[in-house]
Each structure stands twice: as structure tokens, then as C-alpha cells.
Structure 1
Amino acid sequence: MRPILAVNSGSSTLKFGLFVEDNGEQRALLQGSAEGIGKDGGKLEIQGADGKPLHQEERKYASQKEALQHVTDAMAALKVDRPIAVGHRIVHGGPKLVDHVRVTPDVLKTLEAAIHFAPLHIPTSLDLIRSTESIYPDIPQFACFDTAFHQTLPEEAYRYPLPAQFAEEGVRRYGFHGLSYASIVHQLGSELKSRTVIAHLGNGSSLAALLDGKSIDTSMGMTPTGGIPMGTRTGDLDPGVLLYLMRAHKLNDQALETLLNHNSGLLALGGASDMRKLQSSADGGDHDAALAIEIFCRAIARTAAAFAVSLGGLDALVFAGGIGEHSAPVRANICARLKLLGIEIDSACNQASEAVFSSGNVQVGIVPSQEEAQIAREVGKLLAN
């Protein structure tokens, strides 16, 4: 069977994977990433199913479109089968596109009309879809929305305390990182606890409360800017702060967009958006870096504790994402703040990043995010139907 190509675009990265169905599961033939897009230096790496490198090169990419073209050229040079379909991770589909769907002209029109919901993300997604069409004109494409996983949120969780006319326009909590959460639910299968909080921690970070595998609460809001502080994003702010910035500093919408999404968060607090750099600086006595980590961990713990209220208790806490999977100090900091919920960890197991490292009543562990594999799963389901 011909494979499915999964495309997962970030602000400066393009991750991808080629998957084939094997006994009902999507098995990776190859995976990789183009990094440093839009920056002075970039690189392309492709690994085979065994994790061994198939292709590596240093290369500058001006855009996601250029990176995608080079990725598909590299895959063709490796003589892998052409895909039967292409699935794209789409961060936001606005109020009308809330389920994974085949891309059609009508879908593209609806996405274009929703750009004001995610002006930093949707235009790039549209460019990649159109670029893919020029590369593979005869192959169907599918849009896989990060917001789809959170369609099970109850109204009390997604409705904002604003007049009804704004809710009717789609001003509500949507939630994001849905493909990551869905991949974790898939991996855990029958081992998934009834009342689980997942913390997807990376440059963009969010938490979700899952009751029997369904999202009932989540930290990000109408956009991925909301929730806990992130690498360069503020997370939740008192709306009065925005009014102050507009009045006192004459910031318009574009200036606010740049400030809130690119110049805030851990970068503003500690001088770096990379947790490894912050941890190194904090270990060397840097007060600002240490404060940034404390604010980050405190916000995560507060959110997890609040979600225990939403769930009526807590059976499991799962860490995912680059920070969640690899930063033992961050995990330990968060768990120490949550002892009141029955969380106890084995320090040695946490330091070794073992899959389960709890020693108390609440199971605590790590499950790696598999967004590209989840895209392939969702596309596989749509092809089967």
C-alpha cells in the first residue's frame, strides 16, 4: 500500500513523516524535519524507520514552501513510494472547521475567511496546501485540526463571559495541541486513566483535562496565545494590561500581536525561550532565568490543580512535548507543587526520564507526542470512509 505523507509546520520548522498501514497501525517509513526556516542557518534531516539517518544537509530555507519542495525532492531521491494522500496539521480552522476533513475549494475558502482567528498560522497552512497541490496535483490532501480534539468541551468550559453576539461569531475557547493529545490517548489505549491531565510542554505549551479520554478542559483559549506562559508567548493576561499598552504606549493590533506572541513569555522573563539555556543560566546564579522557570512551573501546577477540580479528582499526570519529555528539573518542580493531590515521584526514575516515575497514588509519567503519526491515523480513517 502506498504511504501517507504527514506535514506538521511550526514557526521555523517543518516536520514530516511517511507512514504506511501495518496491521491496523500507521508505521513510519521515514520521518524528519527541516529546521531554521526563515533564519540564517537551517538544516534538513531524514531518518529511516530504525532511526538511522538517511539524509542530512545544512541548507537555508526562506519559507515553509521552499522547505516543503526540498523535502519532497529529497524523498524522491531516496526512491520511496509517492504518497497516496497528504495530511496537514492545521492549528486553527475557526468556528466552522472543527473536524478533520478532505481539502476542497470550499474548505480553502472557509479557511481564508477564518484568518483573523489565527493570522500567524492559517496563512502559512494555506501556502503549504497550495504548494503541495503543485507538487502532487493528483493526490488528495486532508486538513487535520488541532482544535478537533477539544470539541467535547462542555459549554461551561468553552464559553467566555461576553455578550452572546460574540459567542455567535465564534469567540470562545477552542483549545490546541489536539493532535498531540489524541496521539497520547492512542498510545496509552486501555492504560489511560479515567481522570488524566496531560501537560504538553514545549516552546508552545498547554494542558488538557481528560475524562475517560475526552477533553473537558484546556488551558489555551481562542488562540494559542492563551493559557500558561510559553517560550515567547504571554499566556493569560489581565485584559486591562492590553488596554494600558494601547493607551499608554499607543500599540496597535500588529504591535500587540508581535509583543504577545514573539517578545514575551520565558524570553521576556529570563532572556531565553529555550528551557535548556534557562536552566543552565539559573544553575549559574542568574536570578531572571530562575524566576522565569519558577513562574512557568507555578503556572503549570496551578492549572493542573484547577483541572483536578474539573475532573473531580486526579488519577494520572502525563508529560509530553520537548520540555515535558526531556526536562527532569521542570517535572520535579511541578510535581513538588502538587503533593496536595497525592503526587509523589521517584527522583531517580524522573532523572532517568522513565515512562512512569511516580511513587504515590497518582500515576505520573512521560508519553512522547506523535503528531505526525496521528495525522496519518486521521487521514487513514478519512480515506477508509
Structure 2
Amino acid sequence: MKIVIINSGSSSIKYQLIDMPVNEVICSGMIDRIGLESSNLSYVTDSVKIEESLPIANHKIGLKKIAQLLMDEKIGVIKSTKEIQAVGHRVVHGGSAFSNTVIINEEIKAKIKQLIELAPLHNPANLEGIIVAEEIFADARQIAVFDTAFHQTIPVVAHKYAVPNFLLTENKVRVYGFHGTSHKYVSENAIQFLKANGVEDTSKIITIHLGNGCSMTAIKDGKSIDHTLGFGPMNGLIMGTRCGDVDQSVIFYLVKTLGYTVDEVNTMLQKQSGMLGLTGYSDLRDIESNAEKGNADCQLALAMNAYRIKKFIGSYTAVLNGLDAIVFTAGIGENSSYIRKLVCTDMDYFGLELDQAKNEIRSKEMREINTPSSKTKILVIPTNEEIEIANQVYNLLLN
């Protein structure tokens, strides 16, 4: 069964064509920096590797470019869209309506659209991906896999807010959690890796997903028990354009005293804050480059970013009552040795000892970057949300 996986992020599209159930990746690639002056595109098969920079204004243009490459006469991997039996879509927010993978119909699309207010940077891109895929792969089943599903195991003591009870019972206001496919994938791989390397206790793990969007999950016995993102994907860690945790009083001050409208505040906190608000750049590669050149704003922003991560490591170690391993993943977590170093510095109390040489190695392989004497394992595990989505799509259609 050939399945196309479309993972539309806030500023990127990752895609893979996978032959199931053997998990053979026929083609893979991504487009990032969507909406900026110059976007990056990659397209990789066994015999072809293309990397180019070109303007991609929005997700619709990006998805159509991907489809053209898949069916290109010279470098394509399919002759017709009829070869594709299913398209799996990552959808960020499923609210209380979705706790499982579902086949997409008009009712499902309407519910995803209703949830846009809870994930304004993501659900619109996810829905656009579905609509475009329905046009391009008209004969395929369209399947939605929700980021929130993995976090359904978060107990009520962690997912309930200290607000009037009716907001949960009637309006479903609670912590939902996000990046679930990523956290599920890397945590399962971490447990397998640790056991294969003779580690007996793998019950207490913190996964750290760092990209344009960022989140951390406390995982006990393979299940999510707490998570940094909540009702929407805006709180917790400092992100590319999102503020992360902020005192609610700031919002009231912006509206009542400074005269901002609610919509203006929402735009500010979602699209103009985070690393962009602190430095003028949303891409960490630009921020690290300028920090190395002495840019004080960039240096401070990186320190703030790592400081926030360290705070949650401490918090989640308390929740887990111990710590066996931390896992870095996603674009920044996998590639930024600088961020990993900042996070792991002065963390001796938690048993974290970073091997500086191992940390500097760039690799697409799962690896351990702690010293031999480190009590807590430090892992870098490339996430593969597409494989996780493909497995869920295949299992749904199989049953």
C-alpha cells in the first residue's frame, strides 16, 4: 500500500511516500521557510537528491510543487495519482472531538475548521493540505492523525485548569497537548534504544521537541503524563514566533491600558513574539549565526530559550519522581549542538553530563551524547512523524 504523508507545519511541509507495511520510504523531502523571501525545498529518492531555494508564498503552492515532483517524467516516483491508496495528514488540534485517527469526510473537515481558533498557526495549514490533497489524489482515502491524541493519557490533576468547573465539563477547556506523533515516536524509540544498550530502567523520560514550535513531555511507562503546551499550542517554551508562558496580566494590560484589541494581542503573541520578537529572526540558524557575531539580543534569546527548557526539566523530574533519560528531537533539537549544550550545562543535580565531542557530531542517526559516567542518558533521536502517521493510517485501513 502506497501512502503519501503530508505534515504541514506553521512554516514548513514535510512529506514522504511510504510503502506499507514494510515502512519503505520511496521518496521524502520538505519545504521550510514558507512565506519568507526564499524557501528551501528538498526532494530525495534512492537515485535523486534535489535541494533548491525558491519563493514559496504559502502551503497551497508548496503542496502543488511537491505533487509535481512526485509525478515528474524524469525524477518522479509515480506515474499517476491512482497509485496512491491513502494520504495521511498530520492535524495539530483535535480538541475533545478526536482522540483517534479518522477517515476524513466533510464533517471531519468542518470540525477541524472549527478548531482553527485553538491552533491558528497550524490547523489552517493542515486543512489546506487536506483540501489540496483531495484535488491531487482524488482516488485516495484521506486520513487525519491528530497531535493531541497521544496526550489523552495526561491525568486530570495535570490537564485540568484551576478555573470554574463548567469550563471543563461544558466547554472542554483543558490541556490537550501537541506534537503527539513526534513525542510518541521518539519516546518509543528511546525505550527500545536504551533497553538494547543494557539500560534496565526506562520508565521516566522527558522528550524535548524543538522546532519552530516547541514542547516537552513527561513520559512515564511509555505514556504522556504532562506536557508544556495546553489548550492551544502557544504556552510553555519560547518558540519561533510564539511567546510561550506569559503572565495573563500582561494581556489585560495590553488591552485595557495600552489600547490593543484582542485580535492584535493574539497576533502579537502568536506571530510576533518568541525568538522573532526577541531578535528580529524566527529561524534559529539565523539567530545562532548572529549570536556568534556578537549580537547581544540573539545571545540573550538563546540563553532565555535554554533557561525555559531547564525549568521544565526540573519540573517534570519532580512529576516523574526521577529521570532516566532526556531526548532532544525535531529540527532544532536534532541539529543545534549550541542549544543542547546550553540546556545541559549546570545540570549535575539531575545527573546530566554532556559529552562535548559527541554533542558536536552531526548525524541523522539515533545517538547517545552523554558521558559514560552520566547518571541520566542524553539522547538525540531524529523524529519521524511521517512513519508514525503511516503506521496509524495503515492500521486504521487494515481494520
Does the TM-score normalized on the shorter chain lie above 0.5?
yes
Inter-partner Cα distance in structure 1 for 2:339 and 2:51: 31
For the 8 Å contact 1:28–1:49, the answer to whether it is kept is no
Q: 1:186 to 1:268 in 2, by over 3 A?
A: same
Structure 1 residues 89 and 270: CA distance shift in structure 2, 3 A: same
Distance 1:248-1:148 versus aligned 2 partners, 3 A rule: same
From 56, 59, 73, the equivalent of 1:61 is: 56
Compared with structure 1, are the counterparts of its residues 238 and 220 closer, same or farther at alpha carbon in structure 2 (3 Å cutoff)?
Answer: same
Which position in structure 1 is the counterpart of 2:317?
A: 308
SS in 2 for 1:337: coil
1:334 aligns with 2:343: yes
CA shift in 2, pair 1:342/1:188, >3 Å? closer
Deviates more, 1:322-331 or 1:144-153: 322-331
Shift of 1:36: 4.2
Q: For residues 266 and 56 of structure 1, do their structure 2 counterparts lie closer, same or farther at Cα, with a shift above 3 Å needed?
A: closer
Shift, 1:320, TM fit: 0.6
Structure 1 residue aligned with 2:198: none
Distance between the aligned counterparts of 1:44 and 1:333, measured in 2?
A: 30
Please list, as runs of the form range in 1=range in 2, the aligned pairs for 1:257-268 lying within 5 A after superposition.
Answer: 257-268=266-277
Structure 2 gap ranges (5+): 195-201
Aligned to 1:358: 370
Q: 1:16 to 1:370 in 2, by over 3 A?
A: same
* Residue in structure 2 matched with residue 90 of structure 1 by the alignment: 91
- In the alignment, residue 375 of structure 1 is paired with which amino acid? I
CA contact (8 A) 2:177 2:229 kept: yes
2:257 match: secondary structure? helix
Q: Which shifted more, 273-282 or 326-335?
A: 273-282
Deviation at 1:371, TM superposition (A): 1.3
C-alpha change, 1:60 and 1:164, in structure 2 (3 Å) is same
Cα root mean square deviation, aligned? 1.9
Residue in structure 1 matched with residue 15 of structure 2 by the alignment: 16
Match in the other structure for 1:80: 78
Counterparts in 2 of 1:315 and 1:326: CA distance versus 1, 3 Å: same
Shift of 1:312: 0.8
Alignment of 1:110-149 (within 5 A): 110-149=111-150
Q: Deviations over 1:138-184 (max 9, x none)?
A: 21110011111111101111111111121121211111111111221
Question: Number of matched residues?
Answer: 380
Q: Which amino acid aligns with 2:12?
A: T
Cα distance between partner residues in 1 of 2:77 and 2:318? 53
For 1:72 and 1:278, the matched residues in 2 are separated by 32
Letter in 1 for 2:264: A
Structure 2 counterpart of 1:4? 3
| Change in CA separation of 1:87 and 1:358 when aligned onto 2, cut-off 3 Å | same
Spell out, residue by residue over 1:56-102, the C-alpha distance to the aligned partner (whole angstroms, 9 max, x if none).
55543343223222211221121426211000010112221122111
Of the structure 1 ranges 210-219 and 286-295, higher mean CA displacement relative to structure 2 is found in 286-295
SS in 2 for 1:97: coil
**Partner of 1:114: helix, strand, or coil?**
helix
C-alpha distance in 2 between matches for 1:224 and 1:69: 27
Q: 1:40 Cα shift?
A: 3.6
Structure 1 letter corresponding to 2:397: L
- Asked whether the equivalents of residues 301 and 334 of structure 1 are also in contact (C-alpha less than 8 Å), the reply is yes
2:188–2:222 contact (8 Å) kept in structure 1: no
Tell me if structure 1 keeps the 8 A contact 2:209–2:333.
yes
**Contact 2:208 2:216 (C-alpha < 8 Å) held by counterparts:** yes
| Runs (4+) off by over 4 Å | 55-59
CA-to-aligned-CA distance 1:285-318 (integer Å, 9 cap, x gap): 3222211111111100110110001111000011
CA drift at 1:25: 4.2
How far apart in 2 are the matches of 1:239 and 1:216?
25
Q: Report matched runs for 1:1-385 at 5 Å.
A: 2-21=1-20, 24-49=21-46, 52-53=48-49, 55-56=50-51, 58-77=53-72, 78-80=76-78, 82-168=83-169, 169-191=171-193, 193-353=202-362, 355-359=367-371, 360-385=374-399
Segment drifting more, 71-80 vs 206-215:
71-80
2:210 and 2:331 in contact (8 A); partners too: yes
Instruction: Name the SS of the counterpart of 2:254 in structure 1.
Output: helix
Please say if residues 206 and 218 of structure 1, whose CA atoms lie closer than 8 Å, have aligned partners that are also in contact: yes
Q: For residues 333 and 185 of structure 1, do their structure 2 counterparts lie closer, same or farther at Cα, with a shift above 3 Å needed?
A: same
Provide TM-score, normalisation by structure 2. Answer: 0.90
1:97–1:110: 8 Å Cα contact kept in structure 2?
Answer: no
User: Does the CA contact (< 8 Å) of 1:301 and 1:337 recur in 2?
Assistant: no
CA contact (8 A) 2:10 2:125 kept: no
CA contact (8 A) 1:353 1:366 kept: no
1-structure distance, mates of 2:146, 2:102: 9
Q: 3-12 vs 271-280, which deviates more?
A: 271-280
Asked if structure 2 preserves the Cα contact closer than 8 Å seen for 1:100 and 1:145, the reply is: yes
Q: Please identify, of 180-189 and 12-21, the stretch whose mean Cα deviation from structure 2 is larger.
A: 180-189
CA separation in 2, counterparts of 1:230 and 1:286?
19
Q: Distance in 2 between matches of 1:137 and 1:277?
A: 39
Q: What letter is aligned with 2:78?
A: V
Instruction: Return the offset for 1:228.
Output: 1.0
d(CA) in 1 for partners of 2:362, 2:377: 14
Identity %: 35
Inter-partner Cα distance in structure 2 for 1:337 and 1:98: 39
- Counterparts in 2 of 1:340 and 1:25: CA distance versus 1, 3 Å: farther
Give the 3 Å change call, closer, same or farther, for CA 39–279 of structure 1 in structure 2: closer
Query: Within 1, Cα distance between the matches of 2:397 and 2:391?
Result: 10
